[in-house]
Amino acid sequence: MFRLVYSECVKTFLKKRTYLGFLIILIVVPLVEIAMKIEGGRFTGATLRSLQQDFVFVGSLFNGWLVAHQVMNSLWVHIPLLISFVAGDQLAGEATAGTYRLILIRPVSRTRIFFAKYLTTMLYTALFVGFLGVLSVGLAVVLMGAGDLLVFDKGVLILPASDVAWRFFAAYILAGWSMTTIATIALFFSSFVENAIGPIVATMGVLIVLLIVSVLPVEFFQSIRPYLFSAHLNVWTKAFSDPVDWGEVTRSLLWLSVYSVVFATTAWIIFVRKDILT
């Protein structure tokens, strides 16, 4: 199984499109953070201006932690799209390249092949989220230094500098967990089609629809919202609450895990029963 996973990793990471998401992040994150450094906290100043009537702020809250937090909030809408580029190509890419039969003639069961591809997808997702975290947080702290973190969490919350680093570490672990659900859904759609574009469009379509349903002020939608995976994708934001509600975090992780298991199991069943004609 280890050799099979290694083989799938080699196939995945030798494809140029695998690095498209990394390249986009490598361009966008420094561009945004350098621009925010040049602005010198103008965006933060505009945000705090409305609060200065009720609070007295001593010193500057504009620092690398704040910028990294803002980048995390602004980019996370686009991360599922970048992850689905690779996850949606795991099975559909074999059909597009006409290599389905080639990989299935090996004396290895379809089950092992499927889970090797699934583990490769999870590895890619973890590396991608980790790369985003190291780049955004590391570069922001280098450019603008550390300090207290200003967070808007049901009000205004200022986290002391000594209490911030572990929260970012936990936030990216939680974010990685939520993104594995997105990757699993893309892999699920990949088991149906023979073109990698289909899983990408389908995954983003489902995500957008559920996000819209989650925010519409309709009583029926509000009643089913806690059971939608889209309501738990932002579990990483709970790492910046004080105190952290670990019970709520656990519930969100369990719901995301349930969706991952259901979609992965369904994709496996489809794959092992699939009639490979090409």
Whether 33 and 143 have beta carbons less than 8 Å apart is answered as: yes
Helix axes 64-75, 110-144, angle to 10 degrees: 140
- Give, for 152, the enclosing helix (H) or strand (E): strand 149-152
Whether 235 and 249 have beta carbons less than 8 Å apart is answered as: yes
Residue 261 is predicted with a pLDDT of 95
Count other C-beta atoms under 10 Å from residue 268's C-beta: 18
Tokens of 237: 């934001």
Residue 154 is predicted with a pLDDT of 67
Give per-residue pLDDT as tens, 86-129.
Answer: 888 887 776 666 666 666 666 677 788 888 889 999 999 999 99
- Tell me which residue of 186, 75, 62, 86 sits closest to 133, measured CA to CA: 75
CA distance 204 to 78: 10
Residue 195 is predicted with a pLDDT of 76
Residue 106 is predicted with a pLDDT of 64
- Give, for 30, the enclosing helix (H) or strand (E): helix 20-39
Residue 262 is predicted with a pLDDT of 96
Residue 155 is predicted with a pLDDT of 67
What's at 147, amino acid-wise? Answer: G
Task: Work out whether the CA dihedral 164, 151, 171, 142 comes out positive or negative.
Answer: negative
Residue 70 is predicted with a pLDDT of 86
Count other C-beta atoms under 10 Å from residue 100's C-beta: 18
Domain extents in the chain: 2-272
Residue 88 is predicted with a pLDDT of 83
Residues of the chain with pLDDT under 50: none
Q: Average per-residue pLDDT in the chain? A: 83
